[in-house]
Structure formats: structure tokens, C-alpha cells
């Protein structure tokens, strides 16, 4: 899949691709529900899922108009049918609700020097969409027994679980991502279900780099995604 991106602004990275791989592992191959990709950026996550799960009804949401322009271009060039929504997820509410919400939300925190590039700052920093606000709005927009699959900073795991419990969204599957074998997890991938009583499974982690190169699992995800980037014009 060829994807246009801004040359000077936020650009997708391995976090989104690891999330994509995780969703593919957990989603029924014949899934046909309504899906919302929150903070879609150039559309990469939602478009990859739409390519692989063609029966889904995909909506891409972003607060920045330029991202939706790019997403529409990427969808058209890859022959994928989508709906775009320009909205702030802090206050967004869809009356029809969704069977699945996916997201790589902004999770850089206070104390981290913010980028002077406004597009990058909005895409990366939790000050523009906090964890509580993200999970509250997800709860508001999910149907009963629907799922939320997202990634976040692994050091926030306690806060994530506390808020999921508050909003009655049960984590049912968790996977950690480590940059190297001996490093602490820097990313957590979470599958959660509204109203579920299931126990939470902790899956084997993803190690991105082994012996100075990408691991077999990481390379398999990159190969499955099969993305190439070009500058947006």
C-alpha cells in the first residue's frame, strides 16, 4: 500500500504497524461491523484494516483537516471506500455507535519537550487528547459488547486499567512491545471489550530488534502491512 504523508509533520512509525499486527491477530477474518479509527493521521491504520477486512464499514476521524485530506487521497489511490469525520474526539458522539474503535492516540506527556511543528504536536501529545478523555469518549461511542483496540505508553498501564474499569471496558488481551530484548516495554497493545467479564490474557511480547536487526515477528508484520511512503502533494 502506497501512502502519502506530509514531508514536514507527523509521520507514522512502528507503533502503528505493531498495533495493526495485533488487531489482525485478534479480529475475526469475516468481521463486517462499523469501525472508527480515532486520530487517523494519513489513514494508515484504518486503511490497512479496510484492505484486509473488506467487509468493515470504516470511518476515519481526525481533528486536523489536512489529515483527512491526505486520508481521502490515500483511500482513493488504494481503491478503498471510507467515511471521514472531522471532529475533536474529546467531545465526539455518534448516535449509531461502533462495533470496534481502533487508535494510536497521542500519549507523549508533560515534561517531554513538545515539537514546534503544530501538526506533529497535536498528533503526539496527550495534552490534546488525554487518556481519561480518550477512554470516556470511546465508551460513549461503543455499542454494548463492542471492542476497543489501541496502543499506549507502557508506563501508563496502571492508569489505563484503572480508567478502563471506571468506564466498564474490560481489558481482555494485552501485549507488550520492547525495542530490545533487555529493555523495558515502551508500548502496550490492549484489546478491551465493553461490558465483558472475561479474564485478561497477557500474550508473549514483541521484541522489535534482535542482534542489531528487526526480529522475525516485527519483519512479518512489516511484510504483511507492505507500506511505502511518498510525500503528499
- Asked if 24 and 52 count as a contact pair (C-beta separation under 8 A), the reply is yes
Nearest one of 107, 101, 164, 170 to 136, comparing CA atoms: 164
User: What angle is formed at CA 150 by the lines to CA 145 and CA 156, rounded to 5 degrees?
Assistant: 115
pLDDT recorded at residue 8: 84
pTM for this model (two decimals) = 0.92
pLDDT recorded at residue 11: 87
* Mean pLDDT value of segment 160-167: 96
Nearest one of 19, 24, 17 to 1, comparing CA atoms: 17
DSSP letters spanning 8-25:
SS----HHHHHHHHHHHH
**Number of neighbours of residue 140 by Cβ within 10 angstroms:** 14
The average confidence (pLDDT) of the chain is 91
Lowest mean pLDDT among 3-12, 111-120, 146-155, 159-168: 111-120
HSE-CB for 26 with a 13 A CA cutoff: 24
Q: Which helix (H) or strand (E) holds 135?
A: helix 131-141
pLDDT recorded at residue 62: 95
Query: What is the set of domains in the chain, with CATH numbers?
Result: 12-227 (3.40.50.150)
From residue 189, alpha-carbon distances to 14, 85, 176, 211 in Å are 12, 25, 6, 24
- Taking only the tens place, the pLDDT of each residue in 95-144 is 999 999 999 998 556 555 555 555 555 555 555 689 999 999 999 999 99
pLDDT recorded at residue 124: 53
Across 34-61, b (16+ Cβ under 10 Å) vs e yields bbbbbbbbbbbbbbbbbebbeebbbbbb
State how far the Cα of 82 lies from the Cα of 22, in Å rounded to an integer. Answer: 22
pLDDT recorded at residue 48: 98
C-alpha distance across the termini of the chain, in Å: 17
Nearest one of 92, 83, 97, 35 to 63, comparing CA atoms: 92
Confidence of residue 90 (pLDDT cuts 50, 70, 90): very high
From residue 227, alpha-carbon distances to 35, 114, 224, 230 in Å are 21, 28, 9, 10
pLDDT recorded at residue 63: 94
pLDDT recorded at residue 137: 96
Amino acid at each position: 500500500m502506497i501512502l502519502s504523508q506530509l514531508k514536514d509533520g507527523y509521520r507514522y512509525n512502528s507503533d502503528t504497524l505493531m498495533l495493526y499486527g495485533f488487531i489482525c491477530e485478534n479480529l475475526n477474518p469475516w468481521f463486517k461491523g462499523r469501525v472508527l479509527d480515532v486520530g487517523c493521521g494519513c489513514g494508515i491504520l484504518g486503511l490497512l484494516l479496510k484492505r484486509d477486512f473488506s467487509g468493515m464499514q470504516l470511518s476515519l476521524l481526525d481533528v486536523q483537516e489536512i489529515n483527512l485530506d491526505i486520508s481521502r487521497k490515500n483511500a482513493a489511490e488504494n481503491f478503498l471506500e471510507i467515511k471521514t469525520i472531522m471532529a475533536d474526539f474529546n467531545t465526539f458522539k455518534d448516535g449509531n455507535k461502533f462495533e470496534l474503535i481502533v487508535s494510536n492516540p497521542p500519549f507523549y506527556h508533560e515534561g517531554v519537550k513538545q515539537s514546534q511543528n503544530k501538526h506533529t504536536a497535536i498528533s503526539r501529545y496527550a495534552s490534546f487528547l488525554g487518556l481519561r478523555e480518550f477512554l470516556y469518549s470511546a465508551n460513549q461511542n461503543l455499542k454494548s459488547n463492542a471492542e476497543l483496540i489501541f496502543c499506549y505508553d507502557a508506563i501508563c498501564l496502571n492508569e489505563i486499567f484503572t480508567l478502563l474499569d471506571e468506564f466498564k471496558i474490560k481489558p481482555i488481551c494485552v501485549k507488550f512491545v520492547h525495542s530490545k530484548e533487555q529493555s523495558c516495554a515502551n508500548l502496550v497493545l490492549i484489546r478491551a471489550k465493553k461490558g465483558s467479564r472475561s479474564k485478561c490474557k497477557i500474550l508473549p511480547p514483541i521484541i522489535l530488534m534482535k542482534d542489531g536487526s528487526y526480529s522475525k515477528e516485527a519483519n512479518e508484520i512489516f511484510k504483511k502491512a507492505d507500506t511505502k511512503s511518498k510525500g503528499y502533494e
